[in-house]
């Protein structure tokens, strides 16, 4: 199992992207689950200590690829990561903006199956970028949304967004929240055909104006899309096992190829339940997409690092690594972008017509233009950063290519987990 990662930053909006739909599709399993705050039922048969394993079994009964939680305490998230059968990683802070205390509306995803390309969070208030901020329409609790942009490790063209949230009990605040959600989706998701999901506890049924705001947008309720009945479809049941109470937990989708199944997960063990809400399970198919303008397949390009120097293959020296040291782009600084299949790219150094290789079998080995063919070491994900720069993630070790430009004459290596200035390259023809 992997450790929970909790961190907090603001992600700027990206520039507009026009994506092209590719042949093929990708299947996903999604879950939304209000897990009930762990201290809420102390001293009762529904205490967290009595239901924590039932909750794990409810999750494992479906095995979601991506799961949005509501009301989760840090200890509950840690317990799911340590005990679930899937290899999950958690993203997000609490609604107070803390990494340790308060209720989380976090997202868990299978880290062995997906790369985290981007993430962020915002608050459902008049000041959405202020952590812990409350709506003037409901000053009791801060409400928030956490979002992720994920990419399948086995297909770089399978990219999608998931926004997780928990709306206010106050109608006007919930209506405000729905509009903020749509506004923020438009801010962060610039590709018009990108698959996007909004999931969570909306505290409202299908006859509410809150539901209507989302349903009348570019999003569709997956439950309705699948033709499911709104009778006996309750998701809130207060540990009773009832099925005819309010349906308030939803998953909406945009640019979804098909809803293969969607069910209310009523898992229990002898009449004991994992939470006072039933989870909702959805199996969907999404289209494969790629930003063709950002992946110049077949074109010869140069790359410039954060220090203002061009990346050079230095091919006049045998087995020399790539360095960001050239003041101009000549033959040694030119690379052809090759299609490596499934949305991955490879780089061919024009100086010697060999592929750039990450050679990650040895720790911190620099990139070299030395391979005659494409294997796992020669495959990279082209990541457009939205600011005119591009980053590369090596498939072989899931690390970003770094120019280490704070060091004099340092080689490029695939060694960094996140993207900062050293991992951003401008490019051109």
- Kindly state whether residues 112 and 254 are assigned to the same domain: yes
Is residue 155 helix, strand or coil?
strand
∠ CA 364-366-368, rounded to 5°: 150
In-domain check, residue 13? no
- Looking at 243, 268, 290, which one is the last position of a domain? 290
Domain containing 305 equals 295-428
In-domain check, residue 12? no
- Kindly state whether residues 127 and 243 are assigned to the same domain: yes
- Kindly state whether residues 244 and 168 are assigned to the same domain: yes
Phi, psi (deg, nearest 5) at residue 336: -90, 130
Which tokens in the block code for residue 240? Answer: 């009773």
- Looking at 269, 290, 311, which one is the last position of a domain? 290
- Kindly state whether residues 234 and 311 are assigned to the same domain: no
- Kindly state whether residues 224 and 333 are assigned to the same domain: no
Which tokens in the block code for residue 397? Answer: 């070790």
- Kindly state whether residues 226 and 306 are assigned to the same domain: no
CA distances 76 to 34, 61, 266, 274, Å, are: 12, 18, 20, 12
Residues 6+ apart with CB under 8 A from 262: 222, 223, 226, 228, 251, 280, 281, 282, 283
131-146 burial, b for 16+ CB within 10 Å, e for fewer? bbbbbebbeebbbbbb
CA distances 94 to 102, 105, 150, 158, 224, Å, are: 5, 7, 21, 29, 31
Helix/strand/coil (H/E/C) assignment for every residue in 44-71 = CCCCHHHHHHHHHHHHHCCCCCEEEEEC
* Among candidate residues 330, 340, 326, 335, the one with its CA nearest the CA of residue 354: 335
Q: How far apart are CA 25 and CA 19, in angstroms?
A: 15
Find the length of the chain. Answer: 429
CATH number at residue 392: 2.80.10.50
In-domain check, residue 15? no
* Among candidate residues 248, 336, 259, 354, the one with its CA nearest the CA of residue 296: 336
Q: How many domains are contained in the chain?
A: 2
Which tokens in the block code for residue 49? Answer: 């200590």
Please give the chain's pLDDT, 429 residues, in tens: 333 333 333 333 333 333 444 568 999 999 999 999 999 999 999 999 999 999 999 999 999 999 999 999 999 999 999 999 999 999 999 999 999 999 999 999 999 999 887 889 999 999 999 999 999 999 999 999 999 999 898 888 899 999 999 999 999 999 999 999 999 999 999 888 899 999 999 999 999 999 999 999 999 999 999 999 999 999 999 999 999 999 999 999 999 999 999 999 999 999 999 999 999 999 999 998 764 445 788 899 999 999 999 999 875 555 578 989 899 999 999 999 998 887 789 999 998 999 999 875 555 568 999 899 999 889 988 887 767 889 998 887 778 899 875 555 578 988 888 888 999 999 998
- Kindly state whether residues 262 and 281 are assigned to the same domain: yes
- Would you state the pLDDT for residue 397? 79
- Kindly state whether residues 134 and 282 are assigned to the same domain: yes
In-domain check, residue 6? no
In-domain check, residue 3? no
- Looking at 241, 256, 290, which one is the last position of a domain? 290
Q: How far apart are CA 291 and CA 232, in angstroms?
A: 43
In-domain check, residue 8? no
- Kindly state whether residues 272 and 314 are assigned to the same domain: no
- Would you state the pLDDT for residue 6? 35
- Kindly state whether residues 92 and 241 are assigned to the same domain: yes
* Among candidate residues 199, 256, 225, 222, the one with its CA nearest the CA of residue 26: 256
- Would you state the pLDDT for residue 173? 98
Provide the greatest CA pair distance for the chain. 75
Please, what sign has the CA dihedral across residues 239, 243, 247, 250?
positive
- Kindly state whether residues 191 and 263 are assigned to the same domain: yes
- Kindly state whether residues 183 and 312 are assigned to the same domain: no
């Amino acid at each position: 199992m992997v450790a929970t990662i909790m961190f907090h930053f603001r992600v700027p909006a990206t520039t507009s992207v026009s994506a092209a739909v590719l042949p093929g599709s990708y299947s996903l399993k999604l879950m939304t689950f209000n897990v009930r705050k762990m201290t809420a039922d102390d001293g009762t048969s529904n205490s967290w200590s009595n239901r924590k394993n039932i909750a794990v079994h409810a999750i494992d009964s479906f095995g979601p690829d991506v799961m949005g939680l509501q009301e989760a305490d840090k200890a509950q998230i840690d317990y799911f990561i340590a005990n679930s059968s899937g290899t999950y990683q958690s993203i997000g802070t609490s609604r107070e903006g803390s990494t340790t205390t308060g209720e989380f509306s976090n997202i868990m995803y299978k880290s062995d199956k997906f790369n985290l390309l981007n993430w962020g969070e915002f608050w459902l208030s008049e000041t959405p970028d202020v952590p812990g901020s409350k709506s003037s329409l409901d000053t009791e609790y801060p409400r928030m949304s956490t979002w992720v942009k994920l990419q399948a490790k086995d297909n770089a063209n399978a990219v999608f967004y998931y926004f997780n949230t928990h709306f206010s009990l106050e109608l006007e605040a919930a209506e405000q929240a729905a509009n903020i959600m749509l506004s923020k989706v438009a801010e962060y998701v610039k590709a018009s055909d990108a698959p996007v999901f909004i999931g969570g506890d909306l505290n409202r049924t299908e006859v509410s104006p809150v539901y209507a705001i989302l349903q009348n947008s570019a999003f569709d309720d997956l439950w309705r899309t699948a033709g499911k009945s709104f009778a006996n479809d309750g998701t809130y049941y207060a540990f009773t096992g009832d099925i005819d109470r309010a349906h308030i937990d939803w998953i909406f989708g945009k640019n979804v190829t098909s809803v293969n199944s969607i069910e209310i997960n009523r898992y229990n063990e002898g009449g004991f339940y994992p939470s006072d809400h039933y989870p909702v399970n959805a199996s969907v198919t999404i289209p494969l997409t790629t930003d063709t303008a950002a992946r110049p397949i077949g074109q010869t390009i140069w790359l410039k690092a954060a220090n203002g120097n061009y990346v050079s293959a230095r091919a006049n020296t045998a087995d020399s690594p790539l360095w960001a040291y050239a003041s101009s782009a000549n033959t040694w600084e030119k690379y052809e972008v090759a299609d490596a299949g499934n949305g991955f790219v490879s780089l061919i150094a024009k100086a010697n017509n060999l592929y750039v290789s990450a050679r990650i079998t040895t720790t911190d080995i620099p990139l070299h233009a030395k391979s005659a063919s494409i294997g796992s070491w020669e495959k990279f994900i082209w990541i457009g950063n939205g600011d005119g720069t591009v980053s590369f993630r090596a498939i072989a070790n899931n690390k970003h290519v770094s120019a280490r430009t704070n060091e004099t004459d340092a080689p490029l290596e695939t060694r960094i987990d996140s993207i900062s200035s050293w991992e951003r390259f401008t490019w051109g023809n």
